[in-house]
């Protein structure tokens, strides 16, 4: 780590995040990953940045900011992104989405002519619970339809969450949200009673392609058209212009007739888009 140790302990103004440093950090995160942190998020930012300061043994916010914006501070970028993003997720989170997928979307895709592979994208997949939930639902569906297959692209900005998703190992209490019949089929239990974890079976792990992708990039390096995009509980942190741009990019990456699922606290109603509303937080591209 390249941070030059300082003798000076933080005190006085240095012990708090100044308005100026808060502004610099919030502009920095907004420019890099689209997350908008208004003045009401200052305490939140202080708490999260403090974690990095403790780790690096940097005594004051002022010094941490100087470090982040210095040439050596480039290495700090992924760590700061990690602490400033919210990674909360769950298996079968917002379960009505998976019911709609299973009952309405998948039968429609199975009946189409042409491609026999259903392509799903979990954009902002966090630690993997969302793409592995999708994999369970799709695996169950294709098992009943001869000749049908699926693939899941799972992307996130944070390398830390992607590494966790790659391992596919979760505490048993987290996996309790998976219905028992699916748990028995798709989760392997550890033999160590001291460490009650489960691991996603290889059959599902190999269906999920994990990649780092920034949703605010101008273009996504994705060549195949998607049939379904899940982008849940991330747009809520973006401002309106960023949301609109993102939703328009999703529209271009969907096949005609493809679906977009967003989080329950999110909406497209104030955005300029060509999507058709199907059900709460579920939208369709015409075709
Ligand atoms: C709250 S989690 C949502 C996880 C999952 N979609 C769900 O609903 O359970 C939000 C995720 O968005 C990711 N994220 C934030 N900004 C991003 C960006 N610009 N590009 C890609 N991912 C981003 C974060 O790293 C985090 O893992």
Give the tens place of pLDDT for each residue, 14-43.
678 999 999 999 999 999 999 999 999 999
Distance 17 CA to ligand 1 centre (A): 25
CATH 3.40.50.150 residue spans of the chain? 96-284
Q: What is the mean pLDDT of the chain?
A: 93
Distance 233 CA to ligand 1 centre (A): 7
Residue among 21, 48, 62, 93 flagged as catalytic: 48
Q: Which residues line ligand 1 (CB under 6 A)?
A: 33-35, 85-89, 93, 124, 126, 130, 156-158, 161, 214-216, 232-234, 263
Which pair of structure tokens corresponds to residue 161? Answer: 């969450």
What is the spatial distance between Cα 179 and Cα 121, in angstroms, rounded to a whole number? 22
User: 118-151, pLDDT tens digit by residue?
Assistant: 999 999 999 999 999 999 999 999 999 989 999 9
How confident is residue 5, by pLDDT bands cut at 50, 70 and 90?
very low
Q: Is 156 a catalytic residue?
A: yes
Q: Of 188, 108, 206, 189, which Cα lies nearest the Cα of 148?
A: 108
Distance 212 CA to ligand 1 centre (A): 11
Distance 231 CA to ligand 1 centre (A): 8
CATH 1.10.155.10 residue spans of the chain? 12-84
The CATH architecture annotation of domain 96-284 reads: 3-Layer(aba) Sandwich (3.40)
End-to-end alpha carbon distance in the chain: 53
Which pTM was predicted? 0.93
Residue identifier of the C-alpha nearest atom 9 of ligand 1? 89
Fold of 12-84: Chemotaxis Receptor Methyltransferase Cher; domain 1 (1.10.155)
92 pLDDT exceeds 90? Answer: yes
Phi, psi of 150 (to 5 degrees): -150, 160
| Ligand 1 closest atom vs CA 126 | 27
| Ligand 1 closest atom vs CA 161 | 27
Contact 200, 152 (CB under 8 A): no
| Ligand 1 closest atom vs CA 35 | 16
How confident is residue 114, by pLDDT bands cut at 50, 70 and 90?
confident
The shares of helix, strand and coil residues in the chain, as percent rounded to the nearest 5, are 45, 20, 35
């Amino acid at each position: 780590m390249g941070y030059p140790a300082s003798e000076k302990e933080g005190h006085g103004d240095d012990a708090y995040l100044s308005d100026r440093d808060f502004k610099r950090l919030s502009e920095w995160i907004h420019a890099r990953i689209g997350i908008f942190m208004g003045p009401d998020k200052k305490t939140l930012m202080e708490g999260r940045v403090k974690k990095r300061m403790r780790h690096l043994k940097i005594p004051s916010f002022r010094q941490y900011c100087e470090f982040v914006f210095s040439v050596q501070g480039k290495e700090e970028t992924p760590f700061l992104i990690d602490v400033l993003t919210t990674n909360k997720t769950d298996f079968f989170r917002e379960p009505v989405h998976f019911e709609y997928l299973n009952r309405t979307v998948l039968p429609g895709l199975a009946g189409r002519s042409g491609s026999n592979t259903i392509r799903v994208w979990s954009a902002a997949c966090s630690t993997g619970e969302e793409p592995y939930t999708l994999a369970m639902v799709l695996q169950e569906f294709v098992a009943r339809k001869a000749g049908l297959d699926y693939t899941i692209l799972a992307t996130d900005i944070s390398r830390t969450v992607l590494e966790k998703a790659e391992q596919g190992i979760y505490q048993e209490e987290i996996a309790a949200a998976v219905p028992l019949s699916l748990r028995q089929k798709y989760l392997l239990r550890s033999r160590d009673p001291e460490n009650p974890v489960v691991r996603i079976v290889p059959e599902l792990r190999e269906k999920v392609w994990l990649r780092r992708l920034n949703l605010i990039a101008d273009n996504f390096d994705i060549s195949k058209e998607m049939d379904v995009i899940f982008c849940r509980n991330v747009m809520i942190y973006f401002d309106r212009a960023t949301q609109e741009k993102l939703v328009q990019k999703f529209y271009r990456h969907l096949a005609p007739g493809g679906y977009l699922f967003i989080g329950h606290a999110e909406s497209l109603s104030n955005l300029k888009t060509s999507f058709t509303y199907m059900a709460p937080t579920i939208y369709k591209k015409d075709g």
